[in-house]
Structure 1
Amino acid sequence: MALKCVAIDDEPLALELVKNYVAWFPALQLVNTFEDAVSGAEYLRNNPIDLLFVDINMPDITGIDLVRSLAVKPMVIFTTAYKNFAFEGFELEAIDYLLKPIDVKRFGKAVEKAVEYYKYKNTFTKEGEDESLYVYSEYRMVKIDLKEIEYIESMEDYIKIHVHNAKTILTLMPLKKVLEKLPEDKFQRIHRSYIVPVKKIISIQGRKVKLADIELPISDSYADFARRWVKM
């Protein structure tokens, strides 16, 4: 099934370009376009869609304010002529943002992310399939293979996801929230600041969990984890 899309941009040429690009991707179905944000917002409040392409800088209201005003938010791909992307877009968890003039290959990558995230949110993972975690980092939705996570560390309002042989991923999310997204039988919290993958624990001695490259503390609140780990 194709994702139902709407495009909003006050620049007719930019809007036409997005319209043409959408037509090249069978995974997308463009249901409407708007040259002003007010009309677009009114349509979105009454017509559920899957994916929104929206310009950030528009004269009546910004694309960011438009998305924030929606009670039911679709997946969002922002388009902008400016390299400095507003921090508010981070809070709205956009799938991606595209810098104008938009390149078709870059457009395709953003579409691929949207399709993958839609499948992730709307289908159940079958036993034996790779499982993934999606988080918002560096103004984009990032897909992380659960098998590659070494451990997760809290940094006040942010968390650092340490990934095997890859750059550490920083995202604005409390540790409690990311724990809710992870399978309980595969990841366990051992401290107010740490979550670990159960299968990557090499040993537990005293109040220390040994992983491949680091030892992490077990806090008093999670002291019973050592006993439960033996049975896992």
Structure 2
Amino acid sequence: MTCIIIEDEIPAQNILKNFLGKLPNLQLKGTFQAAIEANLFLKNEKVDVVFLDINLPDISGMDFIKTIKNPPVIIITTAYPDYAVSSFELETIADYLVKPFAFSRFLKAVNKAEKFIKKIEGTTEENSSETLFLNVDKTHHKIIVNKIVYVESDRNYVTIVTNTQKLSFIDSLKNWKEKLPENNFIQIHKSFIINKEFVDKITGNEIYVLANRLPIGRTYKQNLLKRLKIG
């Protein structure tokens, strides 16, 4: 698992780093003293867990969580027990550690986070196997979401392409970008969203998705390469 620390006190940072050093399954990607610094990092990098203090200089940890779209799993680390009850109203919080805490309590929190992540991944996998019924030409067509190869937009129409079907109907690409699970689908062009599981190869500014040659938009290429883990 990957993680970051958001903590404004250096001694508290050092304790967390020391504890993390004892767990080879946790990789620390960054340490931040302010939420605004971490926010810039999280816009470009994905992590599994955030160790988050509540009392931060620019914005409280609790308010910061609410600003993140699709936030990572959160472990609160704070000297204030007052927010414990209200914090668990936020779905991404796995545990609430009150300083000072022992390594054994820290380890328990990490184990909770790991279970939390597995639960989320299981739910995402179920969602990607969901079926949709598309009403095209007065016929309801069954579509398995994770079998969608790519989605193409042309003016007011959207075309859904699977390995067996090609269906066009009135809709927007923006609507489908919000509907499709983010872990599998990537927008590569203003007119195309692809399923990364079907990518065959990339040549220049073109991508082959299950033998379909599609253009890569200049502004989308960097994110595409990062999502595909191409250095």
How does the TM-score come out when normalised to structure 1?
A: 0.50
How does the TM-score come out when normalised to structure 2?
A: 0.50
